[in-house]
Amino acid sequence: MTTSARRWADGAAGEWTLAVLVVVATTIVSTWPLITSPWLVPNHQDPLFSSWRLYQWTRNLMSGGAGGLFGGNMFYPTPDVLLFSDAIVLPALLGAPFIALGVPVTLVYWVLIWIAYLTAGLAMYACARVISGSRWGALMAAVIFTGAPLRQDHVMHLELLYTAWMPLAVLATARILAGRGRSAWLLGTSLGAQFLCCIYFGIFLVTVWPLLAGIEWLRARPVLSRATLARVAVAIGLAGIVAGAYAVPYQRARKIVGDRDDAETSRYSATLSAYAVSPPSSLFWGWTGREDDAERRLFPGLLGASLAVTALATPAAPWTLALAATTVFAADASTGANGFTYPWLRRLAPPYRGLRVATRFGAVTLMGVALLAALGCARLARDLGQWRGARTAATVLLLLAVVECAASVSIRTLPHRAPSVYAMLAALPPTVIVHAPLPYPNTLPGAEANFLYFAQYHHHALLNGNSGFYPPSYLLMLERARQFPDDRALEALRNAGAEYLLVHEQYYPSREAFARVSVALEARHDVTALGTWSDDRGVVRVYRIVP
């Protein structure tokens, strides 16, 4: 290796080491104390549901898909239940070998969170480094994209943390327009992989990419070779095949659960004022939001937004106009039914009719803000480059950006081993279980995700379930079981195939309510009491439902 090449390699290694340290620090600060222990998860039902998805994928792969590749042990006997929400194929494939070897699902889930944060931050750094040409700007973009309050609002949603492929698609586009035709394969990989990590973001990325790439192409007017254009066409075509193949099984599920109706989309729509609202977990900006604002807290951070505005002072600069237009488009789309873009997309693009939460378009807005902030930093660096204190000021601003990401995430601790009731169930031959209390159809999801999480310890089929969509048969059962444990409720459970009934004290509103249900069950002749055990937090009474 020549001296110049060695210096370049040393410089690149040092630059990426710094980027890794900054992204790690931002991850820790913005997820505290979640990231400190693998047994901690956000105090929300979705981490339990995601753990079930990881465990269920492992079971399906180990059995060779004998019960259906997208099957699962909830909503018995409904098929393809993994397709009622995002199946998180790529994260699940990463975790499956370790779960199969006996690594606890919670530990695998924790590692996957780290992977999501690190890849998102480093992918943004690589993209912003090329787009802006500024190391400082790239570090600032990585901090904003990794730890912004907007991202903190989804710390419990595993699939929504996997956003690395979006900036990688922009990076690939920048390289293609610069004449590096082989980057077409990175573009195709990014488009396809984003679908396999998160369907929402896969659809969003495919939607905004033509706008972003088209505007920058019109500005730069690069001359692209036929070989480059051919590679781009083939790569995008392959990504389309991946997305299309993935969509085929979802069409089966769609016949069962249908599309999202307009009322549901409106419920998860926001206004542009949501970009001034943060989740309560944000130490500095949490006062702007409320607990019931979930999915409508889109604040990208004050420093990031300010630097992004700075970039707009030179709109003719490379990528500025393209990023600004894409960011505005995404911001309007995130307002859902309250904006222009999303209703139009729902009318013209069938995939949007299956999406519930338009505000998740905010992730694309955040990407645009982060890249515009990098361009703003590059402009400031040029303007203030001769000032002696420029480097110190840049370091202080970067530290302030990390500090602005500080959070205090509400958490819960999961048990390290099977509670006694689930150890008992594991000894039974294959059967069908139902857990109580059951939620009302209008109070979903109730405690259903907890029952799914602990199913990894017994492997039996459940009538219970938690997902993005709910099958009609499950909703009908819940309706008939409203007055549990009356005759109609027990008949509904029996007709659905339940053989064992578990009644959990911890999920009832009071001990008195639990006692009333227990007394009523003891008086019935069509259930047999088997005994009392404990789950992770309280007493569980187990009954056999007489056929």
Do residues 320 and 312 lie in contact, with contact meaning Cβ atoms separated by under 8 Å? yes
pLDDT of 207-248, one tens digit each? 999 999 999 999 999 989 999 999 999 999 999 999 998 888
Residue with tokens 């009644």: 503
The CA distances from residue 343 to 99, 189, 352, in Å, are 41, 29, 9
Do residues 300 and 327 lie in contact, with contact meaning Cβ atoms separated by under 8 Å? no
Do residues 142 and 22 lie in contact, with contact meaning Cβ atoms separated by under 8 Å? yes
pLDDT of 493-503, one tens digit each? 999 999 999 99
- Please, which contacts does 450-455 make with residues 24 or more away whose CB atoms are closer than 8 Å? 450/45, 450/48, 450/507, 452/48, 452/49, 452/52, 452/74, 453/48, 453/49, 453/51, 453/52, 453/414, 454/418, 454/419, 454/422, 454/535, 454/536, 455/52, 455/55, 455/73, 455/74
Q: What is the CA radius of gyration of the chain?
A: 25
pLDDT at 263 over 90: no
- Please, which contacts does 245-254 make with residues 24 or more away whose CB atoms are closer than 8 Å? 246/89, 246/195, 246/196, 246/199, 247/351, 249/69, 249/70, 249/80, 249/83, 250/83, 250/354, 252/80, 252/83, 253/70, 253/80, 253/83, 253/84, 253/469, 254/354
Task: Please report the DSSP string for 60-120 in residue order.
Answer: HHHTTTTT-TT--SSSTT-S-GGGGS---HHHHHHHHHHHHTT--HHHHHHHHHHHHHHHH
Using 50, 70 and 90 to split pLDDT, how confident is the model at 8?
Answer: very low
Token representation of residue 383: 């303007």
pLDDT of residue 2: 55
Query: Distance (Å, rounded) from C-alpha 154 to C-alpha 384?
Result: 37
417's enclosing H/E stretch is none
Do residues 465 and 75 lie in contact, with contact meaning Cβ atoms separated by under 8 Å? yes
Tell me which of 4-18, 109-123, 367-381, 493-507 is least confident. 4-18
Beta strand pairing call for 432-436 and 500-504: parallel
pLDDT of 429-440, one tens digit each? 999 999 999 999
Percent helix, percent strand, percent coil in the chain, to nearest 5? 65, 5, 30
Do residues 45 and 448 lie in contact, with contact meaning Cβ atoms separated by under 8 Å? yes
pLDDT of residue 10: 54
pLDDT at 324 over 80: yes
* Residue among 372, 348, 311, 301 at smallest CA distance from 138: 372
Using 50, 70 and 90 to split pLDDT, how confident is the model at 174?
Answer: very high
pLDDT of residue 9: 47
Give the chain's mean pLDDT. 92
pLDDT of residue 314: 85
Looking at residue 421, its amino acid is V
Neighbours of 241 (CB within 10 A): 12
Residue with tokens 């505290």: 32
pLDDT of residue 250: 87
